[in-house]
Amino acid sequence: MAFLGPNAEILPVLSSSPNGTVVSSTCGTPIAFDGGETLNPVDVVLDPGHGGPETGSVGANGLTERTLNLAVALHARDNLVSLGYTVALTRDRDLHLPIRQRAAIANALSPRAFVSIHHNGGAVRRSATPGTETFHQVDDPESARLAGILFEDLHIAFAPYWVSWVDTVHKGASVRLRDGRTETYGVLRLTPDLNSAISEALYLSNPPEAALLAYPEIQAMEGRTIAAAIHRFLTSEDPGSGFRPEFYDAHTTGTGTTSGCHDPELTPPTEVSTGFTAEEYETLAATARHLGRSTDWVVRFGVHTLKFFGSLPDADPIQPLDEADRPDAYGPISEVVPWDQAEHAVLIEMADAYGLTRTQVQKLGAVLMAFLTGLEA
């Protein structure tokens, strides 16, 4: 399940309870987000590789993979929609999107096919035919069939062009593995329940191929070819071709991480208030004085500390509190804490874990901080 965010971004739902809904932000951070249009499952999810500060391969003519992948994906989407399919893109504009978020989006929309669109870099070996590479999931016949059909159609579609191609021994459809016999590529490894494949139609790093890929007509042709291949995968038992032995190569480009990713604020901070008795509030105030912080800081830090203790390697899973142990959070003196969208997700997570309301979790956090500073027995 996923929501459509205010900027038309797809936000996969991580959890939903009476305490609130937590989604995965564009940068892959859990954030609180309620409302927004619910997205239904789609037939196909297309993933234009790279974006934002991650250019991917760059052609001698300045064409970046980031831009080219998106252009091809938009053409593929339009063609699939014309064929009657429902389609979603992991990004429909230039956007920094970590690999985990791409996989989370695909998983949330349960497509029948998930294709990540890339263009290759690095090869220098001259070849008589395009160096098309596709990748599939390990020990997965349907993923292999999807990659085999993508390879077959893309290789045939580009072969007639009079270009000085390059290739490597990996031309064809194959599986790239790392230790533990799992896929090197996160979009394949993190979508085990989907039929997923990666397409690398040509080598953008090869100047003649970059020149060809700069033509809008060629980008449209590639998108049309990918759409036709997905249509063939979904409507036939065709096996595809070009299969190569799986190989071990754990090395990746290091892109697709969350580092340097900045989320826009989708929802402004909202306040949660918790009630204290006069005596309890004096303990909270004393704790705050002891720490040289404000009372709302102590409450917020206490909730984060609950999460920290619960996530220690040898910690027992947090259990819902018995009725008798639930804090009374409805005293006459209220402490108001503003939480931003990411902090709210922590508050909701702890409320769900302890079987409490957000109001009660704030109280629990305050009690914990008083205890840790030795101000409460």
Binding residues vs Zn ion (CB under 5 A):
49, 56, 118
In one-letter notation, the amino acid at residue 189 is R
Q: Residue 260 CB, nearest distance to Zn ion (Å)?
A: 18
Name which of 50 and 224 has its Cβ closer to Zn ion: 50
Name which of 133 and 335 has its Cβ closer to Zn ion: 133
Q: Residue 56 CB, nearest distance to Zn ion (Å)?
A: 4
Q: Residue 50 CB, nearest distance to Zn ion (Å)?
A: 6
Q: Residue 255 CB, nearest distance to Zn ion (Å)?
A: 8
272 in helix, strand or coil? strand
Q: What is the dihedral of CA 224, 116, 121, 139, to 10 degrees?
A: -120
Name which of 11 and 74 has its Cβ closer to Zn ion: 74
Name which of 72 and 337 has its Cβ closer to Zn ion: 72
Name which of 252 and 357 has its Cβ closer to Zn ion: 252
Name which of 10 and 202 has its Cβ closer to Zn ion: 202
CA distance 316 to 368: 17
* Token reading at 11: 């936000």
Closest CA to 306 of 319, 325, 292: 319
In one-letter notation, the amino acid at residue 324 is A
Name which of 5 and 51 has its Cβ closer to Zn ion: 51
Residue 86: how many CA atoms within 13 Å on its side-chain side? 9
* Token reading at 230: 């997905």
CA distance 288 to 369: 9
281 in helix, strand or coil? helix
Q: Residue 87 CB, nearest distance to Zn ion (Å)?
A: 20
Name residue 247's beta-bridge partners: 176
CA distance 230 to 211: 26
CA distance 233 to 227: 10
CA distance 31 to 22: 5
Phi, psi of 170 (to 5 degrees): -90, 5
Query: In the bound complex, which residue of the shown chain has the CB atom lying closest to Zn ion?
Result: 118
Q: Residue 60 CB, nearest distance to Zn ion (Å)?
A: 17
Name which of 56 and 98 has its Cβ closer to Zn ion: 56
Strand arrangement, sheet containing 247-248: 182-183, 176-178, 247-248
Q: Residue 43 CB, nearest distance to Zn ion (Å)?
A: 24
CA distance 162 to 114: 31
Q: Residue 118 CB, nearest distance to Zn ion (Å)?
A: 3
Paired sense of beta strands 44-48 and 87-89, if any: parallel
